[in-house]
């Protein structure tokens, strides 16, 4: 019988994030030596990394940091909400965020390829993957630089870390208007800052759909141009931040609220865990 206690099992679980049975088996194999057991867990876990590569990591968290007019936002994913709220996973995500800030990463690949404590961030994630037993990945990274940048994180579930993260860059105004607009972005999920940011092909496709829909509805031929234009403007109002109705006052557009505050939007980024945009 291996020489270890319940306290040893608890300590090793907290250290590695591995399951109870895996920890007990490792301690048995290591004859109670916690250092050897840790290595066993790492080796066995790393063997399972490849098997987990095809699995879906649609849970996780978003984390953000603003320093010296630069905001950094990361989405770190795992497979279950149980791991998402695990302190070790949250600590790992903060470490990844700090690394993104340090190297000025604006995309996931740059971050993954960067060196942290003598190894790449990708290797760090693989090791966490091994000990925690779930696929863990950095899905997205965003960087917003402006005279003023506000970060806003929103919990969709009080028991989990933040699931929606926003960076909002702007000039003029004060921090309150910046935070209010960041909260608006979190709630209304715009896709672009201005209508000029939408490709001509996308707009043309929306016009085509609007016209075909109006014809299917039997609208008069003479009224089609007006109807199509109205529906395209509706598309803009749904997707363009500055043309959206403001969350705190639906009678105003976001652009009007910013103008009244003496502010001007420059850029934004928004992540929702597991979402495609």
pLDDT digits (tens, 9 = 90+) for 113-146: 999 989 999 999 988 887 777 889 999 999 999 9
| For the chain, domain boundaries | 6-47, 59-193+260-272
DSSP class of residue 196?
G
Percent of residues in the chain assigned helix, strand, coil, to nearest 5? 50, 25, 25
Structure tokens at 143: 């960087």
Backbone angles phi, psi at 178, to 5 degrees: -65, -45
Residues 41 and 33: their CA atoms lie apart, in Å, by 12
| Residues whose CB falls within 8 Å of the CB of residue 22, separated by 6 or more in sequence, listed in order | 41, 44, 133
Q: Within the chain, where are the H helices?
A: 6-16, 20-29, 34-47, 49-52, 81-84, 87-103, 108-113, 121-132, 175-188, 200-216, 224-239, 254-260
Encode pLDDT of 32-73 as tens digits.
888 888 777 766 654 443 444 455 568 999 999 999 999 999
8 A C-beta contact, residue 75 and residue 140: yes
Fold of 6-47: Helicase, Ruva Protein; domain 3 (1.10.8)
> What is the dotted CATH code of the domain comprising 59-193+260-272?
3.30.479.20
Q: Does the structure show a pLDDT above 80 at 202? A: yes
Encode pLDDT of 229-241 as tens digits.
999 999 999 999 9
Strands 148-154 and 249-253: unpaired
Q: How many CB atoms lie within 10 A of CB 251?
A: 7
């Amino acid at each position: 019988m291996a020489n270890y206690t319940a306290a040893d099992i608890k300590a090793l679980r907290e250290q590695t994030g591995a399951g109870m049975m895996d920890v007990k088996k490792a301690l048995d194999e290591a004859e109670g030596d916690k250092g050897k057991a840790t290595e066993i867990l790492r080796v066995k876990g790393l063997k399972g990394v490849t098997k987990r590569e095809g699995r879906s990591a649609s849970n996780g968290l978003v984390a953000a940091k603003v320093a010296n007019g630069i905001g950094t936002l990361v989405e770190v994913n795992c497979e279950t909400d149980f791991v998402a709220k695990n302190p070790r996973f949250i600590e790992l995500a903060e470490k990844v965020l700090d690394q993104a800030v340090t190297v000025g990463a604006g995309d996931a690949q740059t971050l993954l390829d960067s060196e942290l404590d003598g190894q790449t961030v990708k290797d760090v994630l693989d090791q966490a993957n091994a000990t925690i037993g779930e696929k863990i990945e950095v899905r997205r990274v965003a960087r917003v630089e402006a005279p003023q940048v506000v970060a806003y994180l929103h919990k969709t579930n009080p028991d989990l870390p933040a699931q929606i993260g926003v960076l909002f860059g702007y000039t003029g105004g004060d921090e309150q208007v910046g935070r209010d607009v960041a909260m608006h972005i979190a709630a209304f999920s715009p896709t672009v800052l201005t209508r000029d940011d939408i490709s001509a092909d996308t707009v043309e496709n929306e016009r085509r759909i609007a016209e075909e829909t109006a014809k299917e509805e039997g609208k008069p031929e003479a009224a089609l141009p007006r109807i199509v234009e109205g529906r395209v403007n509706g598309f803009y109002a749904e997707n363009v931040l500055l043309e959206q109705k403001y969350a705190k006052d639906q009678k105003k557009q976001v652009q009007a609220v910013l103008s009244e505050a003496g502010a001007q939007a420059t850029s934004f980024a928004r992540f929702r865990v597991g979402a495609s945009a």
